[in-house]
Amino acid sequence: MVKTSFPATRMRRCRSSAWMRNMVAEHRLHPSDLIWPLFIAEGQGEEQPIATLPGVSRFSVDRLAEQARQARDLGIPCIALFPNTPPNLRSERAEEALNPDNLICRAIKTIKDSVPDVGVLTDVALDPYTADGHDGITDAQGRVLNDETKTILVEQALVQAGAGADIVAPSDMMDGRVAAIRDGLEREGHCDVAIMAYAAKYASAFYGPFRDAVGSRGLLKGDKRGYQMDPANGSEALREVALDIAEGADMVMVKPGLPYLDIVARVAAEYRVPTFAYQVSGEYAMIEAAAAAGAGERDALVLETLLSFKRAGARGVLTYHAPLAARLING
């Protein structure tokens, strides 16, 4: 017979009651682990449902204070804002990104004026503003130009910081942009504005509903593989993260979330910076579809997937399920 420590060791003892399970739990989900992405639309009194993201709507700026109050009351520390720019304001050089009165800036001001103790994170990338839906400006062959784009991204980050953004989050994957944005922020006196770098962002099939939400899906020419990471690569993500930290990122992000949990775990184990995961739109849609089909129970799927990010070492998660998850946690 095989020598074993049984029955001295019975793993089930520590699972035998709810209080025992609670007591030995290694990880716990808290509302402060959640960052809530919100989509913004032009207009008044607008709440526009997004078909591919059931349960998520775009809100007009006048409806944002109530959303921010909801976040505060639920204990969600931070909101991430994404604008749906009207088509006539999208252009080849994305000038609207630099308009200090654009949708995102009005949204930032509204939230900071009404609920100042909720953090505001803004995306630094040109895809809501370019005519072709790319994150940067393109040359005649449709290639995204790194250095020209980087210069515009610095200005975009400064416009957002000027409007009151607490965290700017470059999601564009241009090389060298974190250092350039940090320099710009310091130069303009925004030394407390933090940078959360979308450090390891993959060219993923999971972004479809997001592109519907910001209105760029139909516009996108080609794909983003020339700047976002190849899903085949893992070690490259560590290099991306190291570069962004060296350039001055305060926090880093891995995106998408669940299919890249190995990357989250490797980054969190390797570096001493807060690491976030973005459970993206396609992941949200999959959970909703599974729940709608009766294949799983929504609340349990949401809490289990979010907890898995904590177990992998993430400090927090960007998720469209943030309000639901916070309500479930708060009980």
The tally of CA atoms less than 13 A away on the side-chain side of residue 11 is 1
Smallest gap from residue 130 Cβ to ligand PBG (A): 11
β-bridge pairing 251-255 and 194-201: parallel
Nearer to ligand PBG, 115 or 144 (CB): 144
Nearer to ligand PBG, 207 or 276 (CB): 207
- Where does residue 48 rank: exposed (0-12), middle (13-18), buried (19+ CB within 10 A)? middle
What is the per-residue binding string for ligand PBG in 2-31, x denoting contact by CB under 6 A? ------------------------------
Nearer to ligand PBG, 65 or 291 (CB): 291
Q: Is 280 in the site for ligand PBG (CB under 6 A)?
A: yes
Nearer to ligand PBG, 203 or 242 (CB): 203
In the list 84, 122, 171, 308, the residue contacting ligand PBG (rule: CB under 6 A) is 171
Q: Is 288 in the site for ligand PBG (CB under 6 A)?
A: no
Nearer to ligand PBG, 69 or 226 (CB): 226
- Yes or no: say if 82 and 38 are a contact pair by the CB < 8 Å rule: yes
Q: CA-CA distances (angstroms) from residue 130 to 68, 133, 241?
A: 28, 5, 27
Tokens of 88: 């006539």
Among 109, 224, 255, 310, the one annotated catalytic: 255
Q: Which long-range contacts (CB under 8 A, 24 or more apart) does 142-149 make?
A: 142/221, 142/222, 143/226, 144/174, 144/226, 144/227, 146/174, 146/175, 146/176, 146/227, 147/176, 149/174, 149/177
214-243: contacts with ligand PBG (CB under 6 A): 224
What is the per-residue binding string for ligand PBG in 176-215, x denoting contact by CB under 6 A? -------------------------------x--xx----
Secondary structure element (H or E) that encloses residue 79, with its range: strand 78-83
The count of chain residues that interact with ligand PBG, using the rule CB under 6 A, is 12
Secondary structure element (H or E) that encloses residue 82, with its range: strand 78-83
Number of neighbouring beta carbons within 10 Å of residue 80: 21
Q: Based on the residue annotation, tell me whether 201 is a catalytic residue of this protein.
A: yes
Nearer to ligand PBG, 115 or 210 (CB): 210
Among 109, 201, 224, 310, the one annotated catalytic: 201
What letters, b where the CB count within 10 A reaches 16 and e where it falls short, cover 49-58?
A: ebebbeebbb
Smallest gap from residue 288 Cβ to ligand PBG (A): 13
Query: Length of the chain, please?
Result: 331
Beta-bridge mates of residue 255:
201
In the list 103, 115, 122, 127, the residue contacting ligand PBG (rule: CB under 6 A) is 127
Smallest gap from residue 101 Cβ to ligand PBG (A): 22
In the list 52, 149, 281, 308, the residue contacting ligand PBG (rule: CB under 6 A) is 281
DSSP string, 261-307: HHHHHHHHHH-SS-EEEEE-HHHHHHHHHHHHTTSS-HHHHHHHHHH
Q: Based on the residue annotation, tell me whether 109 is a catalytic residue of this protein.
A: no
Smallest gap from residue 291 Cβ to ligand PBG (A): 18
In the list 96, 135, 244, 247, the residue contacting ligand PBG (rule: CB under 6 A) is 135
Which residue of this chain has its Cβ atom nearest to ligand PBG in the complex?
210
- Yes or no: say if 71 and 119 are a contact pair by the CB < 8 Å rule: no
41-80: contacts with ligand PBG (CB under 6 A): none
Residues at the interface with ligand PBG (CB under 6 A): 123, 125, 127, 135, 171-172, 207, 210-211, 224, 280-281
Q: Active-site residue numbers?
A: 201, 255
